[in-house]
Amino acid sequence: MMTADQPTPVEATFFDLSTVYEELMQEFSSQKTVRSLFAQLLQEAYWLTERAASSMGTEGKSIRKELGTRNPAVAALFELRNALHESDLRLGFDIAVTTYLGQTGNIELLGRTSHTQEESAPAAGSTLPVGLVILPCDPNTGEADYSALANASRRIRFHVVPKRDHSQICLAEAGTSDVHVLAERSFRVLKRFFQNVMGIADAR
């Protein structure tokens, strides 16, 4: 029997979802960790809406259906979870690496490259990735000024690459395949969903 100070299954699931979300939003280096956390996020989002719907009966099922229908980011999250669950698919990633070399005048200096799905993301401080690199040049000699490399910083973005056609369509409708952007957009909606569900439960 559940006591008054114990969380409901919906509250406990939202806590788990929030924890996974926070960990994911702080992870930008390990592809393995990002893959694992994103898969957990997909599962926790599914269980949150399922348990909330079950606790509210017909009204909850209607709200859950509307949630997935009206919000493209959440719909994409549900679809990716179903693709993993039904087909046991492994999430693929493309890794986009942008290296910021600083700024000269009004010109931002950067190098950019992409890594294939199975390659590891380069660690911070590793060799500058192969790709387009723009550097300031000495106006007299025309030689590149490599001193900008000393202050280089790197941003790594993970883009989910689903194998199912419908998953690709859902991501296109969501307007992003970036794991962290998709997580942020969908979490905002799921948080409001949770707050609405708890408000309805309290009003009963």
Residue 3 forms part of a structural domain = no
Does one domain contain both 113 and 18?
A: no
The three state secondary structure string of the chain is: CCCCCCCCHHHHHHHHHHHHHHHHHCCCCCHHHHHHHHHHHHHHHHHHHHHHHHHHCHHHHHHHHHHHHHCHHHHHHHHHHHHHHHHCCCCEEEEEEEEEEEEECCEEEEEEEEECCCCCCCCCCCCCCCCEECCCECCCCCCECHHHHHHCEEEEEEEEECCCHHHHHHHHHHCCCEHHHHHHHHHHHHHHHHHHHHHHHHHC
For 60, the domain range is 9-91+162-203
Does one domain contain both 16 and 76?
A: yes
Residue 195 forms part of a structural domain = yes
Residue 116 forms part of a structural domain = yes
Cβ neighbours of residue 134 closer than 8 Å, sequence gap 6 or more:
101, 107, 109, 110, 111
Residue 4 forms part of a structural domain = no
Does one domain contain both 68 and 125?
A: no
Does one domain contain both 115 and 196?
A: no
The pLDDT, as a whole number, for residue 68 is 64
Does one domain contain both 63 and 83?
A: yes
The pLDDT, as a whole number, for residue 37 is 93
Contact in structure between 34 and 158 (CB atoms under 8 Å): yes
Contacts within 8 Å (CB) and 24+ apart, 54-63: 55/8, 55/9, 55/10, 55/197, 55/201, 56/197, 56/200, 56/201, 59/200, 60/197, 63/193, 63/196, 63/197
Residue 135 forms part of a structural domain = yes
Cβ neighbours of residue 77 closer than 8 Å, sequence gap 6 or more:
41, 42, 45, 182, 186
Does one domain contain both 122 and 81?
A: no
Q: How many domains does the chain have?
A: 2
In a structure prediction context, what are the per-residue pLDDT tens digits for the chain, which is 204 residues long? 445 578 888 899 999 999 999 999 999 878 888 888 999 999 999 999 888 888 776 666 677 777 766 789 999 999 999 888 776 556 667 777 665 555 544 444 444 445 444 444 444 433 444 445 556 677 787 777 666 555 556 667 888 888 788 888 999 999 999 999 999 999 999 998 888 877 765 555
Does one domain contain both 102 and 85?
A: no
Residue 145 forms part of a structural domain = yes
The pLDDT, as a whole number, for residue 59 is 66
Does one domain contain both 29 and 45?
A: yes
Q: What is the reported pTM? A: 0.72
The pLDDT, as a whole number, for residue 190 is 93
Does one domain contain both 37 and 71?
A: yes
